Amino acid sequence: MSFPWAQHYTPKAPLMQWIDQRLPLPRLVYNAVGAGYPVPRNLNYFWNFGVLSGLALMIQIVTGIIMAMHYGANELVAFSSIEHTMRDVNGGWLMRYAHANGASFFFIVVYLHIFRGLYFSSYKAPREMVWLLGLVIFLLMMATAFMGYVLPWGQMSYWGAKVITGLFGAIPLVGEPIQTWLLGGFAPGNAALNRFFSLHYLLPFVIAGVIILHIWALHIPGSSNPTGVEVKGPQDTVPFHPYYTAKDGFGAGVFLILFAILLYFAPNFLGHPDNYIEANPLSTPAHIVPEWYFWPFYAILRAFTFDFFFIPAKLLGVLAMFASILLLFFLPWLDTSPVRSGNYRPVFKKFFWILVADVLVLGYCGGAPAAEPFVMISQVAAAYYFAHFLIILPLIAMFEKPLPLPGSITEAVLAKHGEHGAAVVPAE
């Protein structure tokens, strides 16, 4: 599970020896996130976002458990119980704003984590399983966030639930029975609210479980690094603790400062005013939008305004939206270039940034009203999104001439820090 030169856990205190012989839990922690886990010495700050995602999940679980203490999962009281939390519960406003904005910060760090993986090709062998499990976590996060947004039972909650469960109604033949089954009624109501609450409480713990698998799978080959060159010897690594606990700790400080700024000074900046109106099944808000983190996918959903042969536009949009995420499961086998890091792939690097811009454009269109020119722009951007993964990446892998790779991580690090050539120790 680790490199042969990893430090061994040797507890000195008699109590710790006693525990270690009976339940080697401290040993597990030491080997996973302590001095017993050697990590490439050249990780940059983009490698902070895994730990930051874990921190965001912890914030969500703690604030969420507190929210559940004051929440009533019933369509008659759900909306007022949130207002009660905001106005009457001691510090309730803080818990609720922390939970709502915490979700946004969770997605911010996870998106950065995913794009880090895309740029440095962290999905490539032997880390495919890490990538696949990460996508499972992402899907679970989206389901959790969607159901959580329904719970305040405001207008956006209600109509969001209606539109998203309506997606299943687009499936031929079985669609409507599935939609009715999911909602426990013909429209969102008490049954839907209750089951969403139940699942919203459950799924974060499922996410925590899959995160353990994600880290387990990561620790088999060890972390990737900005050069993409594998670790060749002890000189290429440093122990996780104290080196990366310190670096991650600094990142966590920056993360918490930014979180606090949003939380205390603009807690409704990312929210939607319509959700402060109680759900009304007889009146649709003029402009239904999901939360910002779903906008790119919402834009792909709405990009299909035309029927294609016998497939109706509505079903096409739904298929494309799901495909845009499922496609990523095949990424390790679509990008066949043997070079991992984008730093050594001049052509790939350019297209990576085009993809980033493309997703930002999709995001902007997803939040905009469904009118021209946004429909046309999202059609082009959605087409490009699929082309990037299905056509451009495989072609780059075939024709690109990568830059020469450094001989080892140590060589790359020392080359960067001047003429200390004498210190270079060849890998064994």
Alpha-carbon span 247 to 79, nearest angstrom: 42
- Cα 70 from chain centroid (whole Å): 28
Smallest distance, other proteins to C-beta of residue 315, A: 9
84/314 with CB nearer other proteins: 314
Q: Using the Cα atoms of residue 248, residue 251, residue 255 and residue 257 in order, give the sign of their dihedral.
A: positive
Of 187, 206, 213, 270, which one interacts with other proteins (CB under 8 A)?
Answer: 187
Alpha-carbon span 294 to 29, nearest angstrom: 35
Q: Which positions ≥6 away from 315 have C-beta within 8 Å?
A: 170, 171, 172
Partners of residue 278 on adjacent β-strands: 154
181/250 with CB nearer other proteins: 181
**200 known member of a binding site:** yes
24/184 with CB nearer other proteins: 184
- 203 lines the binding site for other proteins (CB under 8 A): no
Alpha-carbon span 188 to 207, nearest angstrom: 26
N-terminal to C-terminal alpha carbon distance within the chain: 20
Judged by CB under 8 A, the stretch of 24-32, 102-110, 231-239, 308-316 that binds other proteins is 308-316
Among candidate residues 81, 157, 224, 247, the one labeled active-site is: 247
Q: Is the distance from CB of 414 to CB of 421 less than 8 angstroms?
A: yes
Provide the mask over 367-396, with x wherever binding to other proteins is found by CB under 8 A and - wherever it is not.
---xx-------------------------
The Cα angle at residue 414 between residues 411 and 419, in degrees rounded to 5 = 120
Among candidate residues 75, 291, 335, 358, the one labeled active-site is: 291
* Known catalytic membership, residue 291: yes
What are the structure tokens assigned to 51, written together?
């730990």
Size of the site for other proteins (CB under 8 A): 31
191/425 with CB nearer other proteins: 191
The Cα angle at residue 291 between residues 203 and 47, in degrees rounded to 5 = 65
Q: Using the Cα atoms of residue 364, residue 366, residue 371 and residue 376 in order, give the sign of their dihedral.
A: positive
- 278 lines the binding site for other proteins (CB under 8 A): no
Distances (CA, A) of 242 to 44, 193, 365: 16, 46, 44
H or E, element range at 38: strand 38-40
Q: Where are the alpha helices (DSSP H) in 169-272?
A: 175-183, 190-219, 245-265
Smallest distance, other proteins to C-beta of residue 288, A: 6
153/159 with CB nearer other proteins: 159
3-state SS class at 311: strand
Smallest distance, other proteins to C-beta of residue 286, A: 5
Q: Using the Cα atoms of residue 38, residue 40, residue 45 and residue 46 in order, give the sign of their dihedral.
A: negative
* Known catalytic membership, residue 341: no
Of 118, 182, 279, 413, which one interacts with other proteins (CB under 8 A)?
Answer: 182
Of residues 138-177, which lie at the interface with other proteins (CB under 8 A)?
159, 162-163, 166-167, 169
Alpha-carbon span 337 to 342, nearest angstrom: 11
Smallest distance, other proteins to C-beta of residue 305, A: 5
* Known catalytic membership, residue 223: yes
Partners of residue 154 on adjacent β-strands: 278
**420 known member of a binding site:** no
Smallest distance, other proteins to C-beta of residue 282, A: 5
Smallest distance, other proteins to C-beta of residue 157, A: 14
52/164 with CB nearer other proteins: 164
What are the structure tokens assigned to 84, written together?
């009660």
* Known catalytic membership, residue 88: no
Beta-strand runs (E) in 235-381: 237-239
**388 known member of a binding site:** no
- 181 lines the binding site for other proteins (CB under 8 A): yes
- 314 lines the binding site for other proteins (CB under 8 A): yes
* Known catalytic membership, residue 84: no
Provide the mask over 235-274, with x wherever binding to other proteins is found by CB under 8 A and - wherever it is not.
----------------------------------------
Closest Cα to residue 148, out of 307, 293, 328? 293
Alpha-carbon span 202 to 260, nearest angstrom: 27
Which residues does the annotation place in the binding site for a ubiquinone? 219
Which residues does the annotation place in the binding site for heme b? 99, 113, 200, 214
Which residues does the annotation place in the binding site? 99, 113, 200, 214, 219
Question: Which residues contact other proteins (rule: CB under 8 A)?
Answer: 159, 162-163, 166-167, 169, 180-182, 184-187, 189, 191, 195, 281-284, 286-288, 302, 305, 307, 312-314, 370-371
> Which active-site residues does the annotation give?
219, 223, 247-248, 291
